[in-house]
Chain A
């Protein structure tokens, strides 16, 4: 059981990964939000990424 199962009863606290206008839109609505400065992992190499995921047991 985690606390976040009852999201309807909580104040939204958001992590945004990707399009940065979503962060701006949430701030406009006075939502606490943190923007991730995301870059494609493994230099965007999907084959390398799959290997890394295997190594990490994901």
Chain B
């Protein structure tokens, strides 16, 4: 069982999965500068679970075994569990100011738990029993799970079975007595290169003719035929160049995403939790999306807390802290952060019990939260740029500060208030740059589904008919 950071690093070294980055195979992800910050961020979830001051949120009691487990492998048993999930995400974000990657698999586990129960009720299958056995294994090992939902999708106007290339959506290519063989890919997979397994799920509701694409299964990332290709991030070469210039040297920037390719991958039946039940794809996707959107006010709220602190410190170092417009902008940033957190707590508090016994957040409020994140985090970043100043876009490199000839000029002209080192000022400005640029922002827009996906949910679940009824009644319209 993985308990410590050291256990986790060893487990990744032992995994021997096939990872590529910039055209090169990576033999040991744990020592590669491009992956180390993401690994540290996940490792923090293990470290905090062992720390007395955090364990109340980071751990839970398994309803299957009664054992103490990581909350990231827990099935929500009540509203309090839903709220604790959000609180946990906020507190970890305070420690990392980055993405800690485990929520996707966490949400996949909960969505699959609920949905396999419903499939069995309708079709008389035994997916739920299989899944519970798998869940016990994940809880016992304390593994990191990729939540594999997003397919590449090719031509978005066509159904999976109508694509020119049938692998644009992950599919079953062969059914055997002992299992199935899958091909296809999952894109934008958070934390993939430093996870142990992937929980493959369908990417959208499916119709008749797409049965081969209605697949949910668990695949170890070292399985034959699985290839991981790590994506680039804004300023990613700085991770290898300079601690200061990378901004957040220990924990990097957001999740670290990869394309996961399945080239004829065999999956035994005990790891298959849906195979052909097109009538439950929409339910599974919606549940996963709601559980994932629930998170965003927690983690992004926590990350924003750190950004507010970084901005306040930068202003203090620059002598602008007493300006009234700075105080106002910092207050606005805090308001926006608390607004997204409020949404996450609200959708959790209004959660309800599913037939499986697992609890589920209010889907409309979870959607509201994520849509607010896609806006508020950009506004928070804009305010951060405003108060920090243009210096975050023009700051010289750490190597200039350390240079024997020109270092004295950087020291002199990049200085702020008396008594604060130039190095401290440069470090905090780099952290702000790291947290508000490129990849860091796009994740707030498209993670857990793009804004339009949330609008679609409003159209579906927003009860506009009831709203019309109330309006008609108050206006005295009877026709």
Question: Do A and B bind?
Answer: no
